[in-house]
Structure 1
Amino acid sequence: MAYSSEVGNVNVDVLKEKLKVDRKGAEVVFQNEELFIISPSIQNGSNWFDLRKINIERFYNSKKKGLLLLRHNTYFLIADLNDFTTQMMRKEDMKSTSTGGDHWKFNIISIGDFFTVFNLSNKNVLYSMKYSNVENLKKDVDKFIKSISAYSGEVDSDFSYEKELILDDLDNSEIIRHINNFLIAKGFNYSEEDIKNFYLSLRSKPFAIISGISGTGKTKIVQLFAEAIGATEKNGQFKLISIRPDWSDSSDLLGYRDIKGDFIKGPLTEMVENALANPQLPHFVLLDEMNLARVEYYFSDVLSVMESRKKDEEGNFTSSPLLPQYNEDLTLPGNLYIIGTVNMDETTHPFSKKVLDRANTIEFNEIDLLNFDSMMVNESGESDKPLTVSNDVLESTYIHLKDAFQTHEALIRKVSEIINTINKQLEPIYAQVGYRVRDEVSFYMAHNTEAGMLLTETEAMDFCIMQKILPRIGGTQNIVQPVLEELQSELKEYPKSKAKVEQMLERVKIDGFVSFWNA
């Protein structure tokens, strides 16, 4: 559907003023305590519009009275949304595209002040719409909603939406066990320790980078992790975005205005809208081959907004507007998790410390070609069934260190002492970490404790050093080698970190230069 930015803004203002509703996440969705409104603005000569399945699902979840309120030039067409979906939106008439997702397409026929809608896939069924204009909109809507009921929870059998039970009472060990079994049932081998680390990494910060040599399953672990807890591309909770090497700003990711002034949403913006509209469910964005383009160029706006995260009066995560020129209500929600996969070779770009500071960098380089456990027949069939879980199982408890300090003071002091010792050894190469890294390591350790010690304290700290500190190290032999030798001794309690430092030492002696990525 083509939207005029000018008319779209007028539509927003009219609905806010006349009906006292606010736009919620998606561009065409408006709500207040009583009403759920889908209000497309039709600006094309053929009079067609479409309705997305995900917005209808949002309506069903709201349990409110629903209106379809079409803005057509200077007038509005009104319909009972519940009745419209029942009569006009059969499963077999649904279309699916990569840009529009699952949707239905309709056309309007007008004769004087009479308006009829038909489904372009089923032109035999017509639906009459009520007419109103801007001046009479409030009066007409108030009269209309008296004749309709809130959604009852019963869905027409022809409609494809099925409400799933959202689980929020599973403990962390049960979640990890389920995800591990799900991955095995799908034929993939990952250690349970790595799954625990990935889980804790997302809880401490909803942005992670997965590195490793090609073919180790970096993309697959993200896809299957998300699928195991109910997030798929089909239901709008998962999106794989392939990064192109020519991306030089955020427009391909977030969106841009075309020559007509219409805002063309980027794939990340669509996922943010989905997450805002379904706050009870986790949503995942996978930036595949993240460093084919310079991350600082196309992702800097998102990184900046990510650092503005805070909690509102109701305790929900919010942030500064992601696209203030498009929608001031579009913020990064607490149920959106962004994961990038990276390879390091001659076709890719290195990361700046700005990016590394803001992510957990998880390395997948261990390969066991003789492990065939996941190839065994899954006789029970239970472990390969995904669960639909609440976002509560992943959402971080903390944003600021003071939030965790009262309940985890001893742990945070211990973590700070360890990092401070490492920092002193990193000073000669200016690779020491700041408060942000200290805080996020503390959050990781606190979440591990609250989860019933998924990892031992030493194992958890080992992962944190590997993911938050060592990726910053790099340089020539005469500068870096003495630092690595000191770290080799200092990190003897942490086997993963010590092994990585030893790999870097070996590499710097051979090549005269080393980084975390080429060791």
Structure 2
Amino acid sequence: MEENKISYDKSYAKQLDEKAIYKCLYDAWGIPNRKIRVWGRLVVNPQGNWAGIKLAKLISTNEAIEYPLPNSKELQSGVFLPPHEARTILNGKTSVFIICELQLASIKQRELKDNPFLLSIDPTSVELLTELPKIELDEIVALDHSTLISEHIYHHFLTSLEKETRVAEEESLNKIKLLEEEYQEIQDKLNSQVQDSDKKILNLKNEEDILNKKISELEREQNSVKESIEIEQQALNSVIEKKRQIEEDMSKKIELLKKYVQEKAGFLKDFEFIDDDVYRDISGERDSYQNSVDGLSFDEDFDSDYTKLTSYIQAHLREQGQFYSRHIIENFLTLIRTNDLIILAGDSGSGKTSLVQSFAQAVSGVSKIIPVKPNWTSSEDLLGYYNPLEKKYLATPFLEAILEASKNPETPYFICLDEMNLARVEYYFADFLSKLEERKQQPQIQLYSDDEAAHVLSELRGVVSIISSAKEKYNKNGIIDFVALMQDEQVSSEMRRAFGFSDKDSLIKYHGDVRRMLSGVIGIPSTITIPNNVRIIGAINIDETTHYLSPKIMDRAHIMKFKSPLLTDWAYIEKEIESYGFEDITKPVTLKVDELGVREPYPNFDPADDFCSLFINFNREHFHPLGIEFGMRTIRQGLNYSRLFSDVNKSKELALNNFLIHKVLPKFTFDGSKPIGNTNKITHIERVLLPEIENNLSGLVVSGEFSAIEALKELTEAAKANDDVVNYWA
């Protein structure tokens, strides 16, 4: 054992946790069963202030043990057991042989002895060995413990067994005699109980008669309740009839209101203040977007099974020339259902926007790809802004996509900000992202002041009033054209007074200004609600032309990282799809908006939950010391993701693996050479964090491209080649 002795540097050992310390001891002593079991003589010193085993030997090898530290002989002084525990075991004797398990001493004792490996006896594991007759102490110490049992203990226990057998026979005879006496007593009691039972039966018959009387009373009460129910039902029917009449009256009022709105809208359309599509919006005649593609039904054709849906979408996309592994489809579908921001990261041409477009087509949805410009610096670049001079809102393609989605609430919309990090995301997107954090209801965005909208509408009411009066005046002669009306001096004078128009302004300018004002207020309201059929996705590249994502963005988003499609195992994907056995994969699937995920609060944080407990420990032992921000919101996002992922894959390990890649590893950007405890950050990742993640993902089989373990290994290797700079995005 001396030739192959393993030892550890004391400063390194001090920064290990208990689990790692035990592993060092197991490796040093060659213990396969992961328990440190020893034997030896238990003694208490004459002063009575120390007790333990002076020379402890391993049960498995019968070799004396010592701590795996350079020049360590500390075990020769003994393994400690509290003296009061030892006296209880000795029971008046000066010493005994015991078998026991060793455990790490308390932190205080380890620090006092300056020994991170210091062990003590576990009192609950102590087993006594019988003293062997006619053998001296030195002989016992020199013998192997298995030899003691075979040559000496056997005869001792054989003699004892014969004696115990004789005693047991005598005790058995006595017990038989006692049992016979007890049997007679039981028989006498049984006879007495039979007599008592007869009396109880008679009493039960009397109780039965009483119960029958109560049942009759209850039946009478039941009939009375039925009569009351009938009376209440009649009253309810009366209320229902009144409700029906109210609804009819309300329907008539709504119809009148609709006709009024249509009349005003028709008036504005006649004078070309609004276009035909705006008229249909106001009058309620616009048809919502209808996808005419003949698609499959999620609930009817797939029994609302997301696992089957995943298989079909993967096969359908392959049919359309888009090759994606099942892992990507499972992951993307789950992230879509979370209603969180999704960021697709990868090199140009890795299939990020193609995934958005092809997935949208596969579920009968609409994709909108919005290019981000490098000069975007505020939310106005994303959502547009109100121009007070023109009295209209200048919309952006992003806002127009949201407005279009709100008009087609049954159709899923996937809005992708392409090359999202060409500009600093935290500059133009942070306010919008804060709105997306609202989980109890659909978030609202204030585009411009409600007062401004009310002011414009007030002016427009004046215009409508002036022109409406003039129209009634001249309609008898068939003159209803705006230009003709404005040629009337009285009408023109009132319009100039109402709007402050100059005498030099043309009639066309009058008309254009009113039209722009009206279009701005009707087309874009001051406040919009992000509809529940919208999913926001970002696509980013990481190179010298782009910006890194800020912690605020990463904390609120899920990040899927893509590698080059040229590294894809095409044959494996084909084999996956063939195993599904679909005959026709040409049709898309029609999903209801709620089937693509409902915006609701994240699951509650519960420290007792396995997932929460795991990440509490990860944060305390690893993330916080490494300088990685990790909060409760992130854990709740993980709970939500894991719950939804179970619909496509039951593997809890795979869900954990994916969450580490989405939410944890993207935050690994720091100087790995900086100290952490008695080592540095890179060493801590390799020797402490990585083994713990491997232990939690034990048994998981996943492609290296999607493995959190492989990603962490690549991260540390890249850091070593880059002056110890840890950067997930490099």
TM bin, normalised by shorter chain, reads 0.5 to 0.7
Matched, 1:507 2:708: no
Amino acid at match of 1:243: V
Q: CA deviation at 1:461?
A: 0.9
Mapped partners of 1:460, 1:226: distance in 2: 24
Return the match for 2:656 from 461, 478, 482.
461
Return the match for 2:315 from 177, 181, 194.
181
1:280 match: 410
Per-residue CA deviation, residues 354-413 of structure 1 (Å, 9 max, x unaligned), is: 0001111011116436626889999998323222321122113631323xx7xxx79x81
1:261 match: 391
1:310-329 → structure 2 map (5 Å cutoff):
310-311=440-441, 318-325=442-449, 327=525, 329=527
Please say if residues 431 and 473 of structure 1, whose CA atoms lie closer than 8 Å, have aligned partners that are also in contact: yes
Amino acid at match of 1:421: N
Please say if residues 487 and 501 of structure 1, whose CA atoms lie closer than 8 Å, have aligned partners that are also in contact: no
2:598 match: 396
Q: CA deviation at 1:35?
A: 10
What SS class does the counterpart of residue 333 from structure 1 fall into? coil
Amino acid at match of 1:272: I
Structure 1 spans left out of the alignment, 5+ residues? 1-18, 22-30, 60-65, 69-80, 86-152, 154-158, 233-237, 312-317
Per-residue CA deviation, residues 457-504 of structure 1 (Å, 9 max, x unaligned), is: 100110001101111111112134144223212211446111111111
1:11 match: none
2:490 match: none
Amino acid at match of 1:347: T
1:286-325 → structure 2 map (5 Å cutoff):
286-311=416-441, 318-325=442-449
Mapped partners of 2:447, 2:339: distance in 1: 21
1:413-428 → structure 2 map (5 Å cutoff):
413-424=609-620, 425-428=622-625
Mapped partners of 1:168, 1:48: distance in 2: 44
Amino acid at match of 1:399: P
1:172 match: 306
Matched, 1:497 2:708: yes
Per-residue CA deviation, residues 244-265 of structure 1 (Å, 9 max, x unaligned), is: 1111112222111245231011
Classify 1:397/1:437 alpha carbon distance in 2 versus 1 (closer, same or farther; 3 Å). Answer: same
Please say if residues 295 and 364 of structure 2, whose CA atoms lie closer than 8 Å, have aligned partners that are also in contact: no
Amino acid at match of 2:275: D
Matched, 1:191 2:325: yes
**Percent of residue pairs identical:** 27
Classify 1:163/1:419 alpha carbon distance in 2 versus 1 (closer, same or farther; 3 Å). Answer: same
Classify 1:438/1:216 alpha carbon distance in 2 versus 1 (closer, same or farther; 3 Å). Answer: same
Return the match for 2:537 from 311, 320, 339.
339
2:373 match: 244
1:44-443 → structure 2 map (5 Å cutoff):
47=272, 49-52=274-277, 67=283, 81=285, 162=292, 167=297, 169=299, 170-232=304-366, 238-258=367-387, 259-311=389-441, 318-325=442-449, 327=525, 329-365=527-563, 367=565, 368=567, 371=570, 382-396=584-598, 398-402=600-604, 413-424=609-620, 425-443=622-640
Classify 1:337/1:42 alpha carbon distance in 2 versus 1 (closer, same or farther; 3 Å). Answer: farther
Please say if residues 230 and 389 of structure 1, whose CA atoms lie closer than 8 Å, have aligned partners that are also in contact: yes
Mapped partners of 1:181, 1:32: distance in 2: 51
Per-residue CA deviation, residues 243-297 of structure 1 (Å, 9 max, x unaligned), is: 1111111222211124523101122222222333333332110111110110001
For normalisation by structure 2, the TM-score amounts to 0.46
Amino acid at match of 1:195: I
Mapped partners of 1:227, 1:36: distance in 2: 37
- Of Structure 1 and Structure 2, which has the larger fraction of its residues in helix? 2
Per-residue CA deviation, residues 326-368 of structure 1 (Å, 9 max, x unaligned), is: 6354122322111111111000000111000111101111643
Mapped partners of 1:348, 1:299: distance in 2: 15
What SS class does the counterpart of residue 321 from structure 1 fall into? strand
Mapped partners of 1:41, 1:375: distance in 2: 58
Q: CA deviation at 1:43?
A: 9.6
Per-residue CA deviation, residues 232-253 of structure 1 (Å, 9 max, x unaligned), is: 3xxxxx2100111111112222
Per-residue CA deviation, residues 307-332 of structure 1 (Å, 9 max, x unaligned), is: 12323xxxxxx124352536354122
Amino acid at match of 2:361: E
Please say if residues 166 and 390 of structure 1, whose CA atoms lie closer than 8 Å, have aligned partners that are also in contact: no
Classify 1:295/1:160 alpha carbon distance in 2 versus 1 (closer, same or farther; 3 Å). Answer: closer
Please say if residues 209 and 362 of structure 1, whose CA atoms lie closer than 8 Å, have aligned partners that are also in contact: yes
Amino acid at match of 2:721: I
2:55 match: none
What SS class does the counterpart of residue 609 from structure 2 fall into? helix
Classify 1:331/1:309 alpha carbon distance in 2 versus 1 (closer, same or farther; 3 Å). Answer: farther
Q: CA deviation at 1:415?
A: 1.0
What SS class does the counterpart of residue 247 from structure 1 fall into? coil
Mapped partners of 2:634, 2:411: distance in 1: 28
Please say if residues 602 and 640 of structure 2, whose CA atoms lie closer than 8 Å, have aligned partners that are also in contact: no
What SS class does the counterpart of residue 310 from structure 1 fall into? coil
Amino acid at match of 1:388: T
Mapped partners of 2:656, 2:536: distance in 1: 23
Q: CA deviation at 1:209?
A: 0.4
Mapped partners of 1:270, 1:361: distance in 2: 26
Please say if residues 248 and 298 of structure 1, whose CA atoms lie closer than 8 Å, have aligned partners that are also in contact: yes
- Of Structure 1 and Structure 2, which has the larger fraction of its residues in strand? 1
Please say if residues 206 and 336 of structure 1, whose CA atoms lie closer than 8 Å, have aligned partners that are also in contact: no
Mapped partners of 1:39, 1:488: distance in 2: 69
What SS class does the counterpart of residue 421 from structure 2 fall into? helix
Classify 1:380/1:430 alpha carbon distance in 2 versus 1 (closer, same or farther; 3 Å). Answer: closer
Could you tell which deviates more after superposition, 481-490 or 209-218? 481-490
Per-residue CA deviation, residues 421-446 of structure 1 (Å, 9 max, x unaligned), is: 22120112321410110111000111
What SS class does the counterpart of residue 673 from structure 2 fall into? helix
Please say if residues 185 and 374 of structure 1, whose CA atoms lie closer than 8 Å, have aligned partners that are also in contact: no
Structure index of larger Rg = 2
Structure 2 spans left out of the alignment, 5+ residues? 1-251, 450-523, 675-680
Mapped partners of 1:32, 1:446: distance in 2: 47
Mapped partners of 1:281, 1:365: distance in 2: 31
What SS class does the counterpart of residue 392 from structure 1 fall into? helix
Please say if residues 42 and 49 of structure 1, whose CA atoms lie closer than 8 Å, have aligned partners that are also in contact: no
Provide the aligned C-alpha RMSD in A.
4.0
Classify 1:508/1:390 alpha carbon distance in 2 versus 1 (closer, same or farther; 3 Å). Answer: same
